Amino acid sequence: METTALPTLNYLNNGHGLKSWLLTRDHKRIALLYLFSVTAFFALGGFFALMIRLELLTPAADLVQPDTYNKLFTMHGVIMVFFFLIPSIPAVLGNFLLPIMIGAKDLAFPRINLLSWYIYVLGGLFTLTAAMTGGIDTGWTFYVPYSTQASNSNVILAGLGVFITGFSSILTGLNFIVTTHRMRAPGMTWFRLPLFVWSHYATSLIMILGTPVIAITVLLVAVERGLHLGIFDPALGGDPVLFQHLFWFYSHPAVYIMILPAMGVISELVQAGARKNIFGYTFVAFSSLAIAIIGFLVWGHHLFVSGQSTYAGLVFSILSMFVAIPSAVKVFNWTATFYKGAVSWDSPTLFAFGFIGLFTIGGLTGLFLATLGMDIHMHDTYFVIAHFHYVMVGGAIMGYLGGLHYWWPKITGRMYPEGWAKFAALMVFVGFNLTFGPQFFVGYLGMPRRYAMYAPEFQVWNVLSTAGATILGLGYLIPIIYFTWSIKNGAIAGANPWGARGLEWEIPSPPPTENFAVTPIVTERTHQYAPSREVGIV
């Protein structure tokens, strides 16, 4: 561990100049291309979020007009969902780590991997153009007939952006699935796969099965809006609720595209943090698949107040209860993994603690919304906003940040200042809870979402929320600063700064372009810090 210099030849210095990056087929360099682009989109989406919170400081629409506000929350949602959350962990950490974790030299289709980044950027440019030239005001959900007949904004352009970027997801998913099936090193059996790989495998299944549906759906919106073909608009003989079925058939599983990779990250962080193999490996691995499968059958819980039949509501309610179980199983197994561990308090583990707390709140409040009689009141209120931010921000972004902290030494070969990282983890945790905690209360009080103006009695909760958002924003800014600083100035990390197990820690940091000089032979599961034994607990 007492290394004083970076490896002389690694993937970062193997080729210089812009061309060597833009035409690279190295999964690690493509991961960094994604890292820069998703960070840019995150900053933009975060800026919109900050504007939203500032506007909601007072009940009146005084900072921005309602039309502007409607565009702000739409752009915030579109960018954060399609251009940050969905690609973030899979395309950055997954791209970087999945081949290394299974002992491969690259993904199965390196050119397709690069293509998927270009498609992502192209889709992003369409959506950015839509944002710059007047914006879009339909909400990220594009509900019809508002989006097809009423909105005066760039619906088609933004929709095309989502349509195009979907193909990047499909190609990434395809690449991961083929790689996991075909490229595992000798001895890397399915039940020796790191849980990070299992969760990315499950995510990839959703990506290739679900994404085509959203692509078709936004295309149909564009067709109805542009050509006035009646598909969803009842004035043209269509059915607006059909759109909601199609939209949520993808967009509910898309929530699992966002959270499953984060769960994979947390499984790694928990094991490395506790220096202990995961409690109940097969249950954690299969719960990812269970989430991917059941997750496709719960979309109708977004339609409880739409006029969907009562019996459909019952079916979707009970299925939504089922999908909570594998998530609960994961949380219990992570918790149990800390038992008799050697638990570090390093920054990645702090993010993992934060994830477990916030995701548990996010998951449990999901049960309120799956409960039919309860959802009627809470539907489209701030309770829903709070719930899904606890899952997507408290869950997915905590996981992403935790993963970045854990693998940053591997990616760059250098350490970041640990004290600042701990401070950032604390800021994010406190700021997040202060931002979104109050929204549960104001939601139960009845404050509807997507309101530029609101009733005065809701103000105190909104002031708390805006105060929290300021802290949260700083918490996100600090890592961007020290990560950037560490690239040149951080201490040399060495191959395995955490004393963790896993193929990625057996190669130099940063890794050589080919990852492994000699293909490794795997003889046991990762994170076996001591010989495993069956321990009776109950």
Residue 345, interface with other proteins (CB under 8 A)? yes
**From the list 448, 478, 512, 516, which residue makes contact with other proteins (rule: CB under 8 A)?**
448
**Total number of residues that touch other proteins (CB under 8 A):** 106
> Where do runs of H (alpha helix) occur along 2-109?
18-22, 27-55, 66-78, 86-87, 95-101
Classify each residue of 80-115 as buried b or exposed e, where b means 16 or more C-beta atoms within 10 Å of its C-beta.
Answer: bbbbbbbbbbbbbbbbbbbbbbbbbbbbbbbebbbb
Of 87 and 295, the one with the shorter C-beta distance to other proteins is: 295
Of 229 and 324, the one with the shorter C-beta distance to other proteins is: 324
Stretch that binds other proteins, among 190-198, 365-373, 385-393, 514-522 (CB under 8 A): 365-373
Taking CB under 8 A as the criterion, which residues in 156-215 touch other proteins? none
Stretch that binds other proteins, among 6-14, 107-115, 200-208, 373-381 (CB under 8 A): 373-381
Of 43 and 321, the one with the shorter C-beta distance to other proteins is: 321
Which residues, other chains included, contact 132 with Cβ-Cβ below 8 Å and sequence gap of 6+? none
Residue 374, interface with other proteins (CB under 8 A)? yes
Task: From residue 479, give the alpha-carbon distance in Å to each of 29, 36, 209, 417.
Answer: 21, 14, 35, 10
Of 173 and 497, the one with the shorter C-beta distance to other proteins is: 497
Residue 433, interface with other proteins (CB under 8 A)? no
C-beta of 48: minimal distance to other proteins in Å?
16
Phi first, then psi: what are they for 381, rounded to 5°? -105, 180
Strand partners, 448: 381
C-beta of 43: minimal distance to other proteins in Å?
26
Residue 228, interface with other proteins (CB under 8 A)? no
What x/- string results for residues 44 through 83 when contact with other proteins is judged by CB under 8 A?
A: -----------------x----xx--x-------------
Give the distance between the most distant pair of CA atoms in the chain: 72
How many C-beta atoms lie closer than 10 Å to residue 307's C-beta? 8
Question: What's the CA dihedral at 135, 138, 142, 147 to 10 degrees?
Answer: -100
Residue 446, interface with other proteins (CB under 8 A)? yes
**From the list 379, 387, 389, 414, which residue makes contact with other proteins (rule: CB under 8 A)?**
379
Stretch that binds other proteins, among 27-35, 188-196, 390-398, 525-533 (CB under 8 A): 525-533
Residue 2, interface with other proteins (CB under 8 A)? no
Residue 340, interface with other proteins (CB under 8 A)? yes
Contacts 24+ apart (CB under 8 A), 306-309: 306/241, 306/244, 307/241, 308/241
Taking CB under 8 A as the criterion, which residues in 449-508 touch other proteins? 449-457, 459-460, 463, 499
Cis peptide before 456 (omega within 30 of 0): no
How many C-beta atoms lie closer than 10 Å to residue 419's C-beta? 10
Residue 314, interface with other proteins (CB under 8 A)? yes
Strand partners, 414: 492
Residue 13, interface with other proteins (CB under 8 A)? no
For residues 235 and 232, give the distance between their C-alpha atoms in angstroms, rounded to a whole number.
9
